[in-house]
Amino acid sequence: MNTRIKELRKENKLSQEELALAVGTTRQTISSIETGKYVASLPLAYKIARYFGLTIEEVFDLSEYIE
Amino acid sequence: MNTRIKELRKENKLSQEELALAVGTTRQTISSIETGKYVASLPLAYKIARYFGLTIEEVFDLSEYIE
DNA sequence: AAAAAATAGCAAGCATACTTTACATTTTTT
DNA sequence: AAAAAATGTAAAGTATGCTTGCTATTTTTT
């Protein structure tokens, strides 16, 4: 699954660590989500989206889950 | 966490079974999400939201995850 | 070029999101 | 009121989303 997290981080000049702290998770979790190792949980997806002032669908490309 | 799934099902005259089949999961999973036993995964949340033609945030009340 | 910062990757462990099976309970239909 | 349909719940098992700790690699800064 693709996400715009890395792109949004760069635009806002944030490290993974800084974003992780801001949304209450770990840097490794942000890394894992960015690299596609696993899919963010709904609560975390929401917190990340809200942090950037966007909707979940604007941050996470979920099209692969729909035919 | 609250969701509008039950409400939307009633409006559309759907049983849990019918919704479950439509989004590719089990009736028990829909029941568990409706009763708050656990939180839907992001992919499933998206499929449910799309099924009703809504956004994830319109179906799932995620406000408790934000201060 | 060297050092510092950032990121990727691994592993182990824990919690949670399911699936399957089955039964209990409630609601709806007859 | 009885039967059927729908829903709630429990349990066990599996897969996944984390957290923690660490090292390797890459990128950025000096």
ipTM, interface predicted TM-score of the complex: 0.94
Secondary structure class of B3 (helix, strand, coil): strand
Does the CB of A15 fall within 7 Å of any strand D atom?
no
Listing DSSP states for A12-56 in one string gives TT--HHHHHHHHTS-HHHHHHHHTTSSPPPHHHHHHHHHHTT--H
The secondary structure element, H or E, covering residue B41 is: none
- Nearest C-alpha of chain B: how many angstroms from A23? 9
Q: Which residue has the tokens 């917190």?
A: A47
Tokens at B5, concatenated: 């799934």
Each domain of chain A, given as residue ranges in start order, spans 2-65
Strand C bases near protein CB (under 7 Å) are 5-11, 16-22
Fold of A2-65: 434 Repressor (Amino-terminal Domain) (1.10.260)
Å from A15 (CA) to C5 (C1')? Answer: 10
Over residues B27-61, the pLDDT tens digits come to 999 999 999 999 999 999 999 999 999 999 999 99
Looking at residues A46-65, what average pLDDT do you find?
A: 97
pLDDT tens per residue across span A2-44: 999 999 999 999 999 999 999 999 999 999 999 999 999 999 9
